[in-house]
């Protein structure tokens, strides 16, 4: 059996599948039509790091909703385990999980490259950000030992939606970039005439490094 890990690439259509979740049957990405969504895997139910992640996701759920973004978790635990774990979180941590959790038979995990050689049979901490057209926009992998930064995922959704709307590029650590602050980057020109035009129109460090303020809504 090959140990090669395969998964869809950024910019491709997200694979279609149907799965059992804590909220019933779910068709992905069909049931998220017109919305962004984050599919994230966790190694196992009833584990400390995963529990902290689910609470963190849940407490920011309304922020994701404001960004037209849904959440869906996944692990290869059975649905009965998911249900019991969600009940445990509600009873002990006073958090009622507002998003579905997929009970995977390893099929989805294998398709999306969530099971890595040398890390056991559990899924790694994978994150797939998918836009409202069903296109995969970002993939992140975290080691099993380290919980995810949920605020960074919110930042990514905000940034990607601005990229689509304004046709710009986002600097490092946006909106707190060390050079540009909250300003965004104008895509570089591809010919001399456009370079001269952009350098005259936008603030810049050079013709290939133009930037601007985002318009206030």
Positions annotated as catalytic residues are 50
Of 120, 20, 124, 92, the residue nearest 84 (C-alpha): 92
Collapsing DSSP states into helix, strand and coil, what is residue 198? helix
Radius of gyration of the chain (CA): 20
Collapsing DSSP states into helix, strand and coil, what is residue 107? helix
Following DSSP, what letter does each residue of 35-96 receive, concatenated? SEEEEEE-S-SS-HHHHHHHHHHHHTHHHHHHTTEEEEEEESS-HHHHHHHHHHHHHHH---
Tell me how far apart the alpha carbons of residues 72 and 129 are, in angstroms, rounded to a whole number. Answer: 11
């Amino acid at each position: 059996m090959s140990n090669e890990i395969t998964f869809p690439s950024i910019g491709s259509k997200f694979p279609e599948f149907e799965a059992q979740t804590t909220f019933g049957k779910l068709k992905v990405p069909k049931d998220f039509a017109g919305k962004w969504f984050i599919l994230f895997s966790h190694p196992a139910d009833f584990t400390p790091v995963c529990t902290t992640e689910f609470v963190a996701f849940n407490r920011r759920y309304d922020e994701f909703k404001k960004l037209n973004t849904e959440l869906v978790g996944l692990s290869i635990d059975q649905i009965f385990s998911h249900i019991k774990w969600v009940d445990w979180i509600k009873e002990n941590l006073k958090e009622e999980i507002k998003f579905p959790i997929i009970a995977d038979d390893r099929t989805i995990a294998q398709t999306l490259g969530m099971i890595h050689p040398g890390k056991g049979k559990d899924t790694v901490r994978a994150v797939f950000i998918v836009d409202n057209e069903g296109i995969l926009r970002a993939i992140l992998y975290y080691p099993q030992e380290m919980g995810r930064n949920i605020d960074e995922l919110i930042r990514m959704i905000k940034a990607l939606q601005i990229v689509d709307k304004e046709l710009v590029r986002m600097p490092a650590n946006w909106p707190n970039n060390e050079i540009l602050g909250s300003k965004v980057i104008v895509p570089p020109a591809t010919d001399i005439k456009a370079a001269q035009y952009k350098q005259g129109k936008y603030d810049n460090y050079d013709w290939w490094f133009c930037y601007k303020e985002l318009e206030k809504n």
